[in-house]
Amino acid sequence: MSAESTPQSPITIDMKLAEYGLKAGPETLESLKGAVADLQTAAKNICKPRSYLEEPVHALRLWKK
Protein backbone atom coordinates (compact mmCIF):
# COMPACT_ATOMS: atom_id res chain seq x y z
CA MET A 1 0.00 0.00 0.00
CA SER A 2 1.44 3.35 -0.97
CA ALA A 3 1.91 6.02 1.70
CA GLU A 4 0.09 8.30 -0.69
CA SER A 5 -3.16 6.36 -0.75
CA THR A 6 -5.95 5.21 1.49
CA PRO A 7 -6.24 1.41 1.73
CA GLN A 8 -8.90 0.91 -0.92
CA SER A 9 -6.97 1.88 -4.04
CA PRO A 10 -3.53 3.22 -4.86
CA ILE A 11 -4.37 6.80 -5.83
CA THR A 12 -1.13 8.78 -5.82
CA ILE A 13 -0.65 12.50 -5.52
CA ASP A 14 0.93 12.56 -8.97
CA MET A 15 -2.11 10.82 -10.45
CA LYS A 16 -4.48 13.30 -8.83
CA LEU A 17 -2.43 16.31 -9.86
CA ALA A 18 -2.42 15.07 -13.44
CA GLU A 19 -6.15 14.36 -13.31
CA TYR A 20 -6.88 17.94 -12.27
CA GLY A 21 -4.22 19.50 -14.48
CA LEU A 22 -2.49 20.98 -11.43
CA LYS A 23 1.18 21.52 -10.76
CA ALA A 24 2.70 21.53 -7.27
CA GLY A 25 6.08 22.82 -6.18
CA PRO A 26 8.36 20.62 -4.05
CA GLU A 27 7.26 22.29 -0.81
CA THR A 28 3.54 21.87 -1.56
CA LEU A 29 4.14 18.29 -2.68
CA GLU A 30 5.86 17.48 0.59
CA SER A 31 3.05 18.99 2.70
CA LEU A 32 0.45 17.20 0.58
CA LYS A 33 2.21 13.89 1.18
CA GLY A 34 2.04 14.51 4.92
CA ALA A 35 -1.61 15.51 4.74
CA VAL A 36 -2.54 12.44 2.69
CA ALA A 37 -0.81 10.26 5.29
CA ASP A 38 -2.87 11.96 8.02
CA LEU A 39 -6.01 11.35 5.98
CA GLN A 40 -5.05 7.70 5.66
CA THR A 41 -4.69 7.42 9.44
CA ALA A 42 -8.11 8.99 9.90
CA ALA A 43 -9.62 6.58 7.36
CA LYS A 44 -8.17 3.64 9.28
CA ASN A 45 -9.71 5.06 12.46
CA ILE A 46 -13.22 5.10 11.04
CA CYS A 47 -13.28 2.05 8.76
CA LYS A 48 -14.32 -0.80 11.07
CA PRO A 49 -16.71 -3.70 10.51
CA ARG A 50 -20.23 -2.54 11.29
CA SER A 51 -23.64 -4.15 11.09
CA TYR A 52 -25.82 -3.46 8.07
CA LEU A 53 -28.39 -2.23 10.58
CA GLU A 54 -26.11 0.66 11.54
CA GLU A 55 -27.30 2.63 8.56
CA PRO A 56 -25.77 6.04 8.09
CA VAL A 57 -28.49 8.34 6.91
CA HIS A 58 -30.50 8.93 10.06
CA ALA A 59 -27.67 10.01 12.33
CA LEU A 60 -29.09 13.49 12.64
CA ARG A 61 -32.78 12.72 13.09
CA LEU A 62 -32.87 14.69 16.31
CA TRP A 63 -36.46 15.74 16.19
CA LYS A 64 -39.83 14.01 16.03
CA LYS A 65 -43.01 15.35 14.48
Contact set with another protein (CB under 8 A): 5-6, 8-9, 11, 16-17, 20-22, 28, 31-32, 34-36, 38-39, 41-43, 45-48, 50, 54-60, 62-65
Cβ proximity to another protein: between 26 and 58 the closer is 58
Instruction: Single out the residue of 29, 6, 2 nearest to residue 17, CA to CA.
Output: 29
Q: CB 18 → another protein: shortest distance, Å?
A: 12
Cα–Cα distance measured from residue 65 to residue 45, given in angstroms and rounded to the nearest whole number:
35
Cβ proximity to another protein: between 9 and 26 the closer is 9
